[in-house]
Amino acid sequence: MTGLIETGDGSATLFLDEYEQAMHSSSGAYEEAVLKHVIPSGILLKEKKELYVLDVGFGLGYNVLALVQLYSLSGSRFRLKIISLEKDKSFSFYMDSVVFNDERDSLYSIIKKGYSQGSVQWGDFSLSLIFGDARESLKQLKEYRFDAVFQDPFSPAKNPELWSVEYFELIARVMEHDAVLTTYSSADHVRKAMIEAGLVVGKGPAVGQKREGTLASPGNFVPVLEKDRLEKIRNNPKSEPYRDPELNLTREEIITNRLESISKKKN
């Protein structure tokens, strides 16, 4: 049933009936934000007056919280502009029950305000939410060039509209050449979708009980994949990616079309 669940590092995650899935790994929700997204994105090491971060799937806002917390601790004095894409406006009730019992609580109350008001600015940070289907929202961001992208929808099987070749083409278009996209998924068909969208794909860190994730960039800024893994991505019919040519298919259509393509390739 939809509701908060405690994870291994003491932070809560939200289970949603719609996806039959929790937002984070059971080993540690906040830990995942830090170790799968913020640190591997390299954003904390960048030296630019203004840094832009695209956060796909705001959820409980942990990726934003971890980014802001670590950025403040790093002593950087650059401006950090975060744009979060989120479909669901109903999470305030659950966010109000999230407590960390440390300095994150005061930062989190600002982030909660950003979610309920649509935007918030404090010190060197600003957060703007764009509500709606991320496939549509991304079309409004054509002029932006992000320095990091946190790709954090639900799993490809539950949330296929945010893992297709055409979706990653939209993402690739708004990334700086040296920007890094971070994600927890290491599925071959996801990696193939990224490659077809023009991104260089590499290994991301493994965290908790989860397998390695994936890092991707328009340039050569990610650790390379093993040759045999790349071969499998190229040649295995099961690596067929999701396709969504007009960026308007339903989840069921995207999944069914992929299965049909796989069976055609096998025959």
Ligand X SMILES: C[S@@+](CC[C@H](N)C(=O)[O-])C[C@H]1O[C@@H](n2cnc3c(N)ncnc32)[C@H](O)[C@@H]1O
Query: Which residues are near ligand X by CB under 6 A?
Result: 23, 33, 57-63, 85-88, 133-134, 152-154, 159, 161-162
3-class DSSP state for residue 14?
strand
CB nearer to ligand X: pick between 72 and 155? 155
CB nearer to ligand X: pick between 54 and 216? 54
Tokens found for residue 6: 């405690």
CA distance 247 to 113: 31
CB nearer to ligand X: pick between 103 and 133? 133
For residue 99, give the amino acid letter: V
Q: Minimum distance from CB of 134 to ligand X (Å)?
A: 4
| Chain residue at closest Cβ approach to ligand X | 59
CA distance 8 to 195: 34
* CB distance 216 to 201 below 8 Å: yes
Tokens found for residue 120: 């918030």
Q: Minimum distance from CB of 263 to ligand X (Å)?
A: 27
* CB distance 96 to 4 below 8 Å: no
CB nearer to ligand X: pick between 222 and 249? 249
* CB distance 179 to 228 below 8 Å: no
Report the DSSP beta bridge partners of residue 224.
Answer: 202
CB nearer to ligand X: pick between 131 and 221? 131
Tokens found for residue 229: 């893994």
Q: Minimum distance from CB of 132 to ligand X (Å)?
A: 7
For residue 187, give the amino acid letter: A
Q: Minimum distance from CB of 49 to ligand X (Å)?
A: 26
CB nearer to ligand X: pick between 156 and 218? 156
Q: Minimum distance from CB of 261 to ligand X (Å)?
A: 22
Q: Minimum distance from CB of 232 to ligand X (Å)?
A: 26
Sheet with 50-56, strands from edge to edge, namely 119-122, 125-131, 79-86, 50-56, 146-151, 175-183, 212-217, 200-206
